[in-house]
Structure 1
Amino acid sequence: MIIFLNQLWSAIGHVFTYYTLHDFLIVLGLLAVDFILVLSLRSHLQDPAKKRILHLIGGFIPILTIIIFQTYLIIMSGGKLLLSQTNLQLVILYYFILMLDNKTQIILESLLALGMLGYFLTQQSISSVQLGLGILGLIIVVLSSYYINANRKKILNNMYLYVFWMIIWGSSWWLILILGVHNGAIYQYLALLIKFIVLMTIVHYLNHFVRSALDRYLRIEDSSKKDFLTGIWNREAFNQESEKSFQLFQLNQRPFYFLMFDIDNFKAFNDTYGHTTGDNVLKSVTAQVQLTLENTSLESNFYRLGGEEFGIIINNATTLEVTSLSKVLAKNVKRHPIVYDGQTLTLTISMGITVIKAADLEFDTIYQRADDALYYSKEHGKSAITIEDQLIEIK
């Protein structure tokens, strides 16, 4: 036993070197770049078709990162493949399994594990026991990777689960990789596994620190763009997103509709029943519109522009779809009155809708056109919709 522990300690000393720290810092840099790249692409691609492309590309990011890093290691070692540094590649793989909801990377990782097993089988003589352990490792790698990716949020939030699956996943990978170590013994296997666990634990805590700081920043930024009363996006968020939609149209002709509405007779509600009732009117209308938008397949964003005035940006839709949605919105608001002191107060809204046109040079032109359409609806009886000069009364 003492001899085995001495061998294990010696093996651990051999796998943890100065170069481990040097290369680990490079891995952290690669992970940071990849993390920023993924966040950047997600924030800029809104089109569903492009999202699918991004999803596919995202699956290749871990493998490409490993190829880049492995190429660097081979060059630095004079053309040699050093399996003692493979833990750094495993860190990259495991990190992305936990960070990205992407089945493409699981398929690619499974193919990589299969390829590594096949490669080692052709390079040296392997006993039936080693072969059996290698195949077992391959099976566990595939199944555990799929499970970890599917349950990554639960695993990330529970340190015991994180450590458990880290050991299962890492040990199964080394059941395959140890086949490439000449005369690989159990103490070498354990030393390499311990190295992976130590490195991945460091990554976990660094990642937890960075993500916690990022989450706090995003919550603060998000709250600054939310309307305090209704909880929907405010005017600042509208200004940013409307400009982004306009720029996307200029770049790739991605069309969008702008729907503006306000609550009919809102001033009378405030003057007659008080500002508390006025606030309840705003909340009720917002809730009905939000619920309706959530139950439609159309891509939309909902904003409070100020007072009783609201706006909705609808992407990739037809005039027929937008007209149908606007009717449903108006009818749902009307079907849900509020009660004040035993009195039922019916709520209605008036709308103005327009679509971006090739001749529009700025978003303000679109905004003014929708505002004019809204004014036309209110001037012709309220509880109405005006879209492209067509007036639709809501009964």
Structure 2
Amino acid sequence: MNLFENFFQDIFNIKSVIMALITVGLITLMMMMTYVLAQRTVRLFRPYTIIVDLLEAVIVVGGVVVLRQTFLVLNGGSVLSWGYAIAQLMVLLFSLYAMQTLAVTLVNLAMPLIFYGASLRLGASPQWWWLFAIMTVILFGVIIYISRHQTLALDSEWRFLLLQLLYGLTWCLIIWSVRPYHLFYMVNVLVIFILYMWIIRFFVKRINQVIKHLSRLSQAANYDELTGVRNRANFDTTTVGVFGVYRHHPTKPITMAMFDIDHFKNFNDEYGHLAGDIVLKHVAQHFNQELVRQTPYGELFRYGGEEFVIIFEDTSPADAERAIMAIQETLKQHPVHLDNQKLTVTVSVGISALQPTDLNFDSWFKRVDHYLYLSKQGGRNRITVEDQNGQS
């Protein structure tokens, strides 16, 4: 009975209530920040998405640190509390379900190693190192599985229960390997931990549904339904941000390329509008895929009809030209297959960098559009860069 009373005195007291509220607040804040960062990532150039992923990992580490410091204050400089352990496990496990990034997974993988190292520095005995090693390997397997199958784990009740049990059990035994305690505590910790995580699962699923709904709305508002690339509305929003970046960093080149499909009207007239849609989708997806291979700085937009625009951040016109020339070549090597026919598709391109003299977007856009016009007038399947003509 004393064990039972001691355990519940540790879990259910005013300090634990305060910590529970702080933990719930942290998890709520993490949910909100995860959604905001996910929305921001959609609008960022690819290199910056890595920074966002790292920022999510920092949020998790920050949450762990905040809990630790709060417990130190509330418990007179000690964190030897099952309430503290449960709170930490909730934050770590929640991050795996809510933040689907490699950086957050690595934080979870590192935590048992950090805990063990810190315990040894504080004088814990390494006598049960083999138990720690076995439990850590099992815990790593659970973490990796959850990181790759978050939705599956949340949707299946028995799978969710099993994963929570394994996650909590391995952590309890990892703690026991450096600070042995009566195993009665472990049973109670697992029950309370699983109960709390079940409640969190309910809210995570609901929030994920809201996020998916908002993502679908964002997809419809910012991406072209036919081709799948960013649309005119997203292009208009992006150019506002581009001008803001350029004003603060005028030495960083920002280049725009505009291209349209050569003789696109002929595809519609000879093969029908469905064929025209197939050609549009083929060109858009080809450019989108090849841009990733050629440069990390290009973003493709469908401006309208058969016209597309690429914004290259931190890229000179010459570098943009090289990337597009390479894509032009691969486009010719991958014709459209339609009714046992191979339709070769080419594009004409105009390229220009943003200049200090461009007081607004229209002046820059008209210049790029003029160079596109020169490419079409020069015989099509060409690239015109600033005042230089080049045959692809």
TM-score normalised by the shorter chain: which range applies?
0.7 to 0.9
Structure 2 counterpart of 1:27, one-letter code: T
Partners of 1:192 and 1:339 lie apart in 2 by 61
Question: How far is the alpha carbon of 1:294 from its aligned partner?
Answer: 4.1
TM-score (norm. length: structure 1): 0.81
1:311 maps to which of 309, 312, 331: 309
**Secondary structure in 2 aligned to 1:326?**
helix
Match of 2:260 in 1: 262
**Are 1:239 and 2:236 matched, yes or no?**
yes
The farther-off stretch of 368-377 and 282-291 is 282-291
Counterpart in the other structure of 1:33: 29
Unaligned runs of 5+ in 1: 1-5
- Tell me if 1:150 matches 2:144: yes
Amino acid in structure 1 at the alignment position of 2:191: I
Larger Rg: 1
Deviations 1:339-376 (A, max 9, x none): 77777654332111112233433333322221111111
Q: How is 1:61-140 mapped onto 2 (pairs within 5 angstroms)?
A: 61-77=59-75, 79-86=77-84, 87-98=86-97, 99=99, 100-102=101-103, 104-106=106-108, 108-118=110-120, 121-122=123-124, 131-132=127-128, 135-136=129-130, 138-140=132-134
Q: For residues 321 and 267 of structure 1, what CA distance do their matches in structure 2 show? A: 31
Counterparts of 1:282-321 in structure 2, within 5 Å, are 282-321=280-319
Q: Does 1:187 align with 2:181?
A: no
Q: Secondary structure at the match of 2:149?
A: helix
- Whether the aligned pair in 2 keeps the contact of 1:334 and 1:347 (CA below 8 Å) is yes
Amino acid of the structure 1 residue aligned with 2:111: E
* 2:136/2:170 contact within 8 Å kept: no
Name 1:175's counterpart in structure 2. 173
Structure 1 distance, partners of 2:331, 2:121, is 65
Q: Distance in 1 between matches of 2:94 and 2:337?
A: 53
Aligned pairs, number = 380
- Sort the Cα spacing of 1:109 and 1:339 in 2 relative to 1 into closer, same or farther, 3 A: closer
Please give the alpha-carbon distance, in whole angstroms, between the structure 2 residues aligned to 1:33 and 1:289: 38
CA deviations over 1:241-282 (Å, ceiling 9, x no partner): 232233233334543321101122333443455433333332
Identical aligned residues as a percent: 24
Asked if the contact 1:101–1:149 (Cα under 8 Å) also holds between the matched residues in 2, the reply is no
**Secondary structure at 1:304 match in 2:** strand
- Greater CA deviation, 275-284 or 42-51? 42-51
Which whole-Å CA distance do the structure 1 matches of 2:278 and 2:35 have between them?
38
Structure 2 residue ranges without an equivalent (≥5): none
Instruction: For 1:8 and 1:364, locate their aligned partners in 2 and report how far apart those are by CA, in whole Å.
Output: 75
CA contact (8 A) 2:92 2:108 kept: no
Query: Is 1:207–2:209 an aligned residue pair?
Result: no
- Distance in 1 of aligned mates of 2:143 and 2:110: 13
Letter in 2 for 1:154: H
Q: Distance in 2 between matches of 1:53 and 1:343?
A: 45
Deviation at residue 170 of structure 1 after TM alignment: 1.6
Give 3-state SS (helix, strand or coil) of 2:294's partner.
coil
Q: Does the CA contact (< 8 Å) of 1:285 and 1:333 recur in 2?
A: yes
Give the alignment's TM-score, normalised by structure 2: 0.82
Q: CA deviation at 1:283?
A: 2.8
Name which of structure 1's ranges 112-121 and 25-34 shifts more when overlaid on structure 2: 112-121
Question: Which stretch shows the higher mean deviation, 335-344 or 302-311?
Answer: 335-344
Question: Partners in 2 of 1:225 and 1:51 — Cα distance?
Answer: 18
Is 33-42 or 159-168 further displaced after alignment?
33-42
